[in-house]
Amino acid sequence: MRYLIAANWKMNKTVSESIDYVEKFREMVKDVEGIDIMIAPSFTALASVSPLLEKTSINLGAQNMFYIERGAYTGEISPIMLNELNVKYVIIGHSERRHIFGEKDDLINKKILAAVEYGLRPILCVGETLEERELGKTMNVVERQIKLGVAGLEREIGLIDIAYEPVWAIGTGVNATVEQAQEVHLFIRNLINDISKGNDSDTRILYGGSVNEKNAGELIKAKNVEGFLVGTASLDPHKFYKIILETLEV
């Protein structure tokens, strides 16, 4: 299984800043092999970044999408719009979408199903809040989010990747320990293996939550950690490149 190292820029970088980043970064990774790389810029930068990634090993991702092809849905982006821009991955159910914008599991499931239908590879984000962890509900939360998120896709779960992102670690500078990550990732692997009746070998389980160039080397050694979804550290091409190098050293 090839590791996936994915960058989620969130609401950062203008179009010109995104172009500058990609022009630098693609030179850094031009000789990198054996690993999948994805960058998810803002929607405004997708059209400008897409041609810059042609004939490179870097895949283009989107940070979100709606589940309907077209219609009166002001402000939304459809899967066919992403397809036209050569987007390969789409992040679905990020905790900021869940907790700031109120997205529920049923909406996230519709997006997952639509992404697969239109040939996009979704990265389903799951994870617990600090309160839920302290109450011992981590596994219950993760199980619910995964089961509801992949409903209708159980036997085809290999068409998606899953990112475990403890909410208490996102953007806080406090990452899960290797032991914490390993425990939840093992739980997820066993869960999706059971859900899919063993058809989960193509699903990578990523860790996200204050991943940086300093802790990536240790976190990637945890069993069933098969890549990263990187936020803040991915905004600097040199730091993001260092995370990729740390992963390749495993």
Predicted model pTM? 0.96
* Torsion sign over Cα 158, 160, 161, 167: negative
Sign of CA dihedral 107, 109, 113, 119: positive
Q: Tokens standing for 244?
A: 């990729």
Active site residue 94: yes
**Secondary structure (DSSP) of 201-234:** TT--EEEESS--TTTHHHHTTSTT--EEEESGGG
Instruction: Please tell me the predicted confidence (pLDDT) of residue 63.
Output: 98
Q: What is the pLDDT of residue 169?
A: 80
The answer to whether 220 and 230 have CB atoms below 8 angstroms apart is no
Q: Maximum CA pair distance of the chain? A: 48
Write phi, then psi, for 110 (nearest 5 degrees).
Answer: -60, -40
Per-residue pLDDT of the chain (250 residues; tens, 9 = 90+): 899 999 999 999 999 999 999 999 999 999 999 999 999 999 999 999 999 999 999 999 999 999 999 999 999 999 999 999 999 999 999 999 999 999 999 999 999 999 999 999 999 999 999 999 999 999 999 999 999 999 999 999 999 999 999 998 877 777 788 899 999 999 999 999 999 999 999 999 999 988 999 999 999 999 999 999 999 999 999 999 999 999 998 7
DSSP single-letter state for residue 5: E
pLDDT at 118 (0 to 100)? 98
Find where tokens 């999408």 sit: 65
Q: Which entry of 96, 103, 128, 165 is annotated as an active-site residue?
A: 165
Residue 185 annotated in active site: no
Over its C-alpha atoms, the chain yields an Rg (Å, rounded) of 17
What letter would DSSP give residue 50?
Answer: G
User: Which pLDDT belongs to residue 208?
Assistant: 94
What the chain holds in terms of domains, given with CATH numbers, is 4-248 (3.20.20.70)
The pLDDT value given to residue 126: 98
The residues, any chain, with a CB within 8 Å of residue 194's CB and separated by 6 or more, are none
Query: Does residue 149 contact residue 111 with C-beta atoms inside 8 Å?
Result: no
Residue 128: closest CA among 144, 108, 142: 142
Residue 32's Cβ-side half-sphere holds a number of Cα atoms within 13 Å equal to: 25
Mapped onto helix, strand or coil, the DSSP state of residue 250 is coil
**Residue 168 confidence (pLDDT):** 85
* Helix intervals (H) in the chain: 15-28, 43-49, 79-84, 95-99, 105-117, 130-134, 138-149, 178-195, 216-219, 237-248
Find where tokens 């077209």 sit. Answer: 70
Count of CB atoms situated within 10 Å of the CB of 131: 10
